[in-house]
Structure 1
Amino acid sequence: MAFLELHNIKKAYYLDKQAFPVLKGIDLQFEQGEFVSILGESGGGKSTLMNIIGGVDRNFSGEVLIKGTPLDHKQEKQLDDYRRSMVGYIYQSYNLISHLTVLDNVLVALDMTALSREERRKRALKLLDQVSLSDQAHKHPNHLSGGQKQRVAIARALASDPQIIIADEPTGALDSQNTQEVLTLLDQIAKDGKLVIAVTHSQEVADHGTRVVHLADGKIDGDERLRPAYDLPKDPTVVKSQQLPAMASYRMSFKHLMYNFWRNSLIMLGTAIGIFAVLLFSGLGNGINGYIQNQINSLTNPRSITVFKNPTGKHLTQDQIQSSLMQNLSADPQSMMIDSGALRRLGKVDGVASVQKGNIISGYRLSYKKLQQSGTTLTTWNKSVTSSSIKHGHRPGSNEIVLTKQQASQLTDAKNYRKIIGKPVNISFKWVNSKGDPVAINGTVKVAGLSEGASAQTTVSYGTMQRMLRDSGAVTSPNFVAVSASSLSDVQKVDNRINNLKNAKGERMFGAITVGSILKTVNTYVHLASTILAAIAGISLLVSALMIIVTMYMSVSERTKEIGILRALGERKKDIRRLFTSESIFIGLFSAVLALVIVIVVTVILNHTLYGMIKYNIVQITAGNVIFAFAVAVVISFIAALLPARRAARLNPIDALAAD
């Protein structure tokens, strides 16, 4: 039984609907150990026949058998396995991959074997030594002569230990000395028990083999045996083939990226700028949220919950509670009074550590010497306020008041406003008595301290407020309560329980406001703003994606022949797709790394510049932000490469190999 058999092979090319026959019924048999020369003039069908034998041409009629088993050219997976395990190609134009070194050009075939990484390297170096190129292993093909390139191609063809070596015009571009060296190598390959089939139009080359098959006008018109086939070796080498591992594709993609690194650097820079902007705005959002929280928590106790009476009996939002409070304080102060029974119920709420009564007054007037100043809200000191809100002086004690910096400046002067501390000021406001009639409240209190900032407020002690109300015959009932939660984690739960307290009529009794709720609202707005800014910055990522798509399409066009080489070596469509998608992902990862470096530098500069003014690092990049940025970079680059990679995988190996 012959090793390789061809039965009635026919092939025609079509122009429009007109057929142009190239092979007109080829019947041949080949044995291992033969060095067969297919001799004929150009256009006679030699290369077409070799493509059919090599498994890269699928569109023909007839049958190809290996050891008596038909090779189904319609089964792409079977053809990939066949090319990977059985065929080694030597091309007239060498078809070396330019961005790989000589060693890597040989290893690319060995990557599809079951050998270990060290075994593959040893075998590649051994093969290069056999073709006298071990000293050129780390050079790129453009640094080699034509004869050296052809010997690299021979080493690559032998790398996976194929049983069939197809040499298409292997000496066509070589001088006489290199031609003799290549023919000697091919003869040695046949002596090792391989089937060597060389396509040539040179009679001198044909005479060097063991057999000459003459092909003319698509038919066999001569088959001459020059010498017997070589005996098969007793202990032939066996290298088991396997599908290309994903890691091999990643390594090759990385090498190509490094080979053309500077060409891709602009794309990486463009993508990095988009990722940098997203990171920076996310970091600014984090920093602003943190700064606001820090400022509010420094002025108010985060465990404190401010509770007001709910005059509507319905569920109220934070904004509705505050709006209702201000309206009722002016129009109907008595409606906001909290009785002792309600206070006891508050004290029994699960998670409440303490209940502190308080009063808040809408509208008051201050006078110092001959100067006067009106205020909108006067409140009693309670646990929701922290001493850190007082920038000068101390918290109010008996018959004392804390003013805002603005009030002190208006009652004195802008430069010497602090001199009012310790001085008595008159305060007056209107309240109601037990009958609901208006009562004028007047008193003198000493300035204990000054508060500053957005949360600055005018406060007196609860005892001072009670004394002033009693002395004027006004109602002394509290109109708000400062509730302290047992722990910070219980604040929201306690807030919900207080809001859900109901009276006998099923009406809600209270409305509660927490610092956490205020922070949540503020943070929501800040987060929304930073997200919008990040999204706007993300538009540049779309532009980067388009740049990657264009680059990948250009890369497919430039590497068309390389794709054909890899497919001829046995790589699957899946491997080709992965080759391009992984390179695009590398571009995305490099871009993300560059963006991270830029944002770190900018963050350090911004935080250092602004820290002196606000005493806070305003840009805060979290690990989550970094992970998100890298994920976005990878996803965008992967999606951008899908269409170009799909186009590359669908290229016809024959057309790809014929590309310039």
Structure 2
Amino acid sequence: MAFLELKGIQKAYYLDKQAFPVLKGIDLQFERGEFVSILGESGGGKSTLMNIIGGLDRNFDGQVLVNGELLDHRKEQQLDNYRRSMVGYIYQSYNLISHLTVLDNVLVALDMTNLNKDEKRQRALKLLDQVGLSKQVHKHPNHLSGGQKQRVAIARALASDPQIIIADEPTGALDSQNTREVLTLLDQIAKDGKLVIVVTHSQEVADHGTRIVHLADGKIDGDERLRPAYALPEDPTHIKPRQLPAAASYRMSFKHLMYNFWRNSLIMLGTAIGIFAVLLFSGLGNGVNGYIQNQINSLTNPRSITVFKNPTGKKLTQDQIQSSLMQNMAADPQSMVINQADLKRMAKVTGAASVQKGNMIGGYRLSYGKLQQSGSSMTTWNKSVTANSIKHGHKPGKGEVVLTKQQAIQLTSPKKYRDLVGKSVKLSFNWVNTKGDPVAIDGVVKVAGLSEGASAGTTINYATLQHMLKQKGADTRPNFATVNASSLTNVEEVANRINNLRNGKHERILGAITVGSILKTVNTYVHLASTILAAIAGISLLVSALMIIVTMYMSVSERTKEIGILRALGERKKDIRRLFTSESIFIGLFSALLALVIVAIVTICLNHALYGLIKYNIVQITASDVVFAVVVAVIISFIAALLPARYAAKLNPIDALAAD
């Protein structure tokens, strides 16, 4: 039984539905140990026959049998396995992979064997030594002569220990000396028990083999035995093949990336800038949120809950409570009064540590000498306010008030406003008595301190305000209360319980405002703004994705022949797709790392520049931001490579090998 048998092989090419026969019924048998030369003129069908034998051409009629078993050319996976385990190619144009070293070009074939890393390297070095290239292993193909390149191609063809070696005009580009050396190597391969098939149009090359098959006009018109096939060795070698592991694709992708690093670095830089912008705006959002929270918590007791009367009886949001408060304070102050029963109910709420009564004045006027100043809101000092809000002086005691810095400037001057601390000012405002009749209130109070910043406000001692109201017969009942929660963790729970207090008509009677709620609202706006800015910055990521797509298509175009080589070695379509997607993922990862370096430098610079002004690091990049950046970079680069990688995998190996 023949080792390799061709039965009735026919092949035609079509142009506008017109058939042009190339092979017209080829019947051949081959044995191991043969050095068969297929001789014929150009256009006679030699290369087509070689592609059929090598499992590259699937569209033909007839049968190919290996060891008596039919090779089904309709099954792509079977052909991949066949090329991987049985066939080694040697090309006239060498077809070495330019971005790999001599050693790596041989290791490409060994990656699809079950040898371990050391065994692969040792075999590759041994083969290169056998072809006389032991001193050239770390060079790239462009540093080799034609004869040396062909020797590398021979070493690669032998690497996985295939049983069939197909050589397509292996000496066509070599001088006479290199031709003799290459033919000697091919003869030695046949002596080792392999089937060597050489396609040539040179009679001199054909005479070197054990048998000449002459092909003319798509038919065999001669089959001459020059000498017997070589005897098979008693202990033939055999290396078990396997599918290409993912790690091998990743290594090859990384090597190509490094080979073209400076070109790829422009793509990485563009992608990194987009990721950097998204990270920076996200970090600014985190920093602004943190800064606002820090400022509010430093000026306001985070455990405090400010409670007002709910005149609507319905559930109100924080904004609605504040809006209703301002409207009712001006139109109907008595509707905002909190009675003693309500205070007791608040005190009994689970999680409430204390309840403090307070008054809020809707409008007032300050006088100092001949200067006057009007204000829109003044409250009694309570536990929701901290002494941190007072930049000059102290919190108000009996007969004292705290003014804002701006009020002090208006009552004195920008240079002497601090002198107002310790001085007396006249305070006047309108209030009502218990019957709802208007009452004018006035009195003299001492300025205890001045408040500054976004949370600055006018506050007066509670006992002092109560005394002023009693003197004029005004209503002294509180119109707000401050509830202190027992811990920070249950502030929102206590506020919700207060909001749910009902009267006999099942109407809500109170509305609670917490610092956390205010912060939540502010943070929502800041987060929205930072998200919008990050989204705008994210447009650059789309541009980066387009750049990666273009780069990958360029890479496919440049590496078309390489794709054909890898498919001829037995790589699957899946391996080709992974080759390009993994390189794109590497681009994404390096872009993310570059973006992290850039954002780290910018963060340090910005925080250092602004810390002296606000005493806070305004850019805060979190671990989740870092993870987000890496994940986004990988996903974008992977998606961007899908179409080019799919296109590369679909290339016909024969057409790919013929590419320039």
Q: Same fold (TM over 0.5)?
A: yes
Aligned to 1:585: 585
Report the alpha carbon displacement of residue 459 of structure 1 after superposing the two structures with TM.
0.6
Report SS of the residue matched to 2:199: strand
Aligned partners of 1:394, 1:307: CA distance in 2, in Å? 25
Aligned to 2:606: 606
Aligned partners of 1:233, 1:473: CA distance in 2, in Å? 123
Report the alpha carbon displacement of residue 174 of structure 1 after superposing the two structures with TM.
0.7
Aligned partners of 2:39, 2:116: CA distance in 1, in Å? 40
Aligned to 1:290: 290
Report the alpha carbon displacement of residue 204 of structure 1 after superposing the two structures with TM.
1.4
How many pairs were matched up? 660
Aligned partners of 1:138, 1:497: CA distance in 2, in Å? 76
More moved, 60-69 vs 222-231:
222-231
Paired amino acid for 1:385:
V
Aligned partners of 2:234, 2:384: CA distance in 1, in Å? 94
Aligned to 1:394: 394
Q: Which runs of 5+ in 1 are unaligned?
A: none
Paired amino acid for 1:635:
I
Aligned to 2:501: 501
Aligned to 1:427: 427
Report the alpha carbon displacement of residue 588 of structure 1 after superposing the two structures with TM.
1.3
Aligned to 1:620: 620
- Taking structure 2 as the reference length, the TM-score comes to 0.99
CA deviation vs aligned residue, 1:539-561 (integer Å, no higher than 9, x gap): 11111111111111111111111
Aligned partners of 1:250, 1:502: CA distance in 2, in Å? 67
Aligned to 2:418: 418
1:172-321 equivalences under 5 Å are 172-321=172-321
CA deviation vs aligned residue, 1:494-532 (integer Å, no higher than 9, x gap): 121111111111000111111111111111111111111
Report SS of the residue matched to 1:611: helix
Report SS of the residue matched to 1:213: strand
Report the alpha carbon displacement of residue 369 of structure 1 after superposing the two structures with TM.
2.1
Aligned partners of 2:125, 2:351: CA distance in 1, in Å? 76
Aligned partners of 1:345, 1:98: CA distance in 2, in Å? 84
Aligned to 1:96: 96
Aligned to 1:41: 41
1:143-162 equivalences under 5 Å are 143-162=143-162
Report the alpha carbon displacement of residue 355 of structure 1 after superposing the two structures with TM.
1.0
Aligned partners of 2:379, 2:313: CA distance in 1, in Å? 24
Report the alpha carbon displacement of residue 424 of structure 1 after superposing the two structures with TM.
1.5
Paired amino acid for 1:268:
M
Aligned to 2:465: 465
Paired amino acid for 1:375:
G
Q: Taking every aligned residue pair, what percent have the same amino acid on both sides?
A: 83
Paired amino acid for 1:319:
D
Paired amino acid for 1:480:
F
Report SS of the residue matched to 2:376: strand
CA deviation vs aligned residue, 1:195-233 (integer Å, no higher than 9, x gap): 111111111111111111111111111111112111111
Aligned to 1:552: 552
Aligned to 2:630: 630
Report SS of the residue matched to 2:38: strand
Aligned partners of 1:528, 1:280: CA distance in 2, in Å? 15
- Taking structure 1 as the reference length, the TM-score comes to 0.99
Aligned to 1:22: 22
1:316-327 equivalences under 5 Å are 316-327=316-327
CA deviation vs aligned residue, 1:21-60 (integer Å, no higher than 9, x gap): 1111111111111111111111111111110000000010
Report SS of the residue matched to 2:362: strand
CA deviation vs aligned residue, 1:435-457 (integer Å, no higher than 9, x gap): 12122222222111110012111
Paired amino acid for 2:413:
D
Aligned to 1:109: 109
Aligned partners of 1:481, 1:231: CA distance in 2, in Å? 107
Aligned partners of 1:484, 1:125: CA distance in 2, in Å? 80
Report the alpha carbon displacement of residue 370 of structure 1 after superposing the two structures with TM.
2.3
1:328-407 equivalences under 5 Å are 328-407=328-407
Paired amino acid for 1:256:
H
What RMSD, in angstroms, separates the aligned Cα atoms of the two structures? 1.0
CA deviation vs aligned residue, 1:331-385 (integer Å, no higher than 9, x gap): 2111111111111111111111111111111111111222221111110111111
Report SS of the residue matched to 2:220: strand
Aligned partners of 2:361, 2:71: CA distance in 1, in Å? 96
Q: Which runs of 5+ in 2 are unaligned?
A: none
Aligned to 1:647: 647
1:417-456 equivalences under 5 Å are 417-456=417-456
Aligned to 1:59: 59
Report SS of the residue matched to 2:567: helix
Aligned partners of 1:89, 1:126: CA distance in 2, in Å? 19
CA deviation vs aligned residue, 1:134-157 (integer Å, no higher than 9, x gap): 110000000000110000000000
Aligned partners of 2:331, 2:24: CA distance in 1, in Å? 107
